[in-house]
Amino acid sequence: MFKKRPFFVAFEGVEGSGKSFQAKKLYKNLKKNKIDVILTREPGGTKSSELIRNLILKDYFAKGRKEKFDKYTDTLLYLAARNEHIKNKIKPAILKKKVVICDRFIDSTIAYQVYGKKVDKKFIDNIHKKILQGIRPNIVFVLKVSEKTSKSRLKKRKTKNRYDNFKQSFYTKAQKSFIKIAKNKRNYFILESSSNDNSLQKKIFNIMKRYLNI
């Protein structure tokens, strides 16, 4: 029997892993079961955070521009977007005992900025202490995808952002980072997402049913 309570779920993975697709599927499945749920994303999720998202993407898509954001400027923009997101969307939803599904959260920052761009983790941790306000996902789904499937899915995308255009070596490194973050953590689920059938969404929903007592 489901008892209304706050619950925070994050989906993590590289581009083409299907995390946005699976987050939407879980949202729809919970809605069907009359669960009070919201679906959001990072960077973004609120008007102010989406403006910051566009600023980050715009900087990287300005072709021919030699000057790009420094990696610490870039990281600070992501963290600024997260601060707005937590303050104005995630925390209010949790206080209202909603289920929050987020497409990317803090593990993406660790995988991409720390492992990928070598930003000092202590720098990020210190800011997180201030902005997270104790909020952490109850469970995290890390979607693992093959190189072939990832490439195939990215080719089919009509609109692409900066992260859809990196070299394959970057995605391989990022995926290893996500798996490393998730290793030996009880509330992390590393799930294979290369197949395009319905088995993964069923698996995710079954895990959620167990946690929420639906």
pLDDT mean values, one per 10 residues, the chain (214 residues): 86 92 97 96 97 85 72 96 98 97 97 94 98 96 86 66 64 91 96 89 96 91
Residue 2 lies in a domain: no
Residue 185 lies in a domain: yes
b/e code 113-144 from CB counts within 10 Å (16+ = b): bbbbeebeeeebeebbeeebeebebebbbbbb
Q: What is the mean pLDDT of the chain?
A: 90
Q: Give residue for tokens 């890390």.
A: 142
With a CB cutoff of 8 Å and minimum separation 6, the contacts of 80 are 52
Residue 47 lies in a domain: yes
Residue 1 lies in a domain: no
Distance CA 73, CA 79 (A): 10
Count how many Cα atoms sit within 13 Å of the Cα of residue 154 in the half-sphere of its side chain: 21
Please give the structure tokens belonging to residue 40.
């959001």
Contact 127, 77 (CB under 8 A): no
Distance CA 132, CA 109 (A): 13
Q: How many domains does the chain have?
A: 1
pLDDT in tens, 60-82: 666 666 778 899 999 999 999 99
Q: Which domain holds residue 33?
A: 7-212
Residue 97 lies in a domain: yes
Residue 207 lies in a domain: yes
pLDDT given for residue 170 in this prediction? 78
pLDDT given for residue 63 in this prediction? 61
Residue 181 lies in a domain: yes
- CB atoms inside a 10 Å sphere around CB 54: 13
Question: Cα Rg for the chain, rounded, in angstroms?
Answer: 17
Residue 60 lies in a domain: yes
At 179, which CATH number? 3.40.50.300
